[in-house]
A and B are shown apart, each in its own frame.
Chain A
Amino acid sequence: KAGVTQTPRYLIKTRGQQVTLSCSPISGHRSVSWYQQTPGQGLQFLFEYFSETQRNKGNFPGRFSGRQFSNSRSEMNVSTLELGDSALYLCASSLTQENIQYFGAGTRLSVL
């Protein structure tokens, strides 16, 4: 079974731009969660989607948004990029009845 796939792996953007990251969950997994990893803050929860609905949201500004499609694939968008948005963005998927999340390799975003 294929794992969680995130694209692209690396991105370089400039301040003020926007970016869209993509995540394909493990086949059969309907829950997708997103996290931001930075050296100072560690792994922080962004939001979770299930059946195309956002069920939970972390403490991030409204510039961070996401969506989920009917095939469970998910995208997250960051608008008006700031230098502090430079981070590794991780996507994880899980079966609805399990707490175990399986992570993708991440997208490394650099904002210049």
Chain B
Amino acid sequence: DQQVKQNSPSLSVQEGRISILNCDYTNSMFDYFLWYKKYPAEGPTFLISISSIKDKNEDGRFTVFLNKSAKHLSLHIVPSQPGDSAVYFCAASGTSYGKLTFGQGTILTVHP
């Protein structure tokens, strides 16, 4: 039972263009959502988060949108840079102490 899904295993974009990574969830008890970036042989690095009381959060080139009715969130990266190439994980938390539920990840490749 995968409660957080990232349906696109990979995404390829040109440098300078927008990258849009998508995530869907099924558990209505989730109230906080996070995006992490991961390079090989490293742990996930926190990027940006959003509470369920908001529908948008921005931090520099990164913006996260939340559509609660559709149980969908997305991460926009504008402009994309080659250094953004990594695996991106969507994660969700709810009432369960210390537990993040992760999606399977999307490999983003930004071409120069």
Bound-state CA distance A101–B101 (Å) is: 12
Picked from B44, B49, B99, B104, the residue with its CB within 8 Å of the CB of A45 is B99
A33 touches B99 (CB 8 A): yes
Minimum Cβ distance to chain B for residue A40 (Å): 10
B43 touches A4 (CB 8 A): yes
B46 touches A101 (CB 8 A): yes
Query: How large, as a class, is the contact surface on chain B?
Result: 20 to 34
Bound-state CA distance A108–B103 (Å) is: 21
Bound-state CA distance A59–B16 (Å) is: 42
Bound-state CA distance A92–B97 (Å) is: 13
A103 touches B98 (CB 8 A): no
- Residue numbers in A under 8 Å from B44 (CB-CB): 43, 90, 103
B97 touches A55 (CB 8 A): yes
Chain A interface residue count, Cβ-Cβ cutoff 8 angstroms: 27
Q: Mark B5-43, 1 if CB is under 8 A from A, else 0.
A: 000000000000000000000000000101010000111
Q: Mark B58-75, 1 if CB is under 8 A from A, else 0.
A: 000000000000000000
Which residue from chain B places its CB closest to the CB of A40 in the assembled complex? B104
Picked from B34, B41, B45, B103, the residue with its CB within 8 Å of the CB of A99 is B34
Judge if A2 is at the interface, Cβ distance under 8 Å: no
B102 touches A94 (CB 8 A): no
- Residue numbers in B under 8 Å from A94 (CB-CB): 98
A33 touches B98 (CB 8 A): yes
Bound-state CA distance A100–B43 (Å) is: 14
Judge if B78 is at the interface, Cβ distance under 8 Å: no
Bound-state CA distance A56–B93 (Å) is: 13
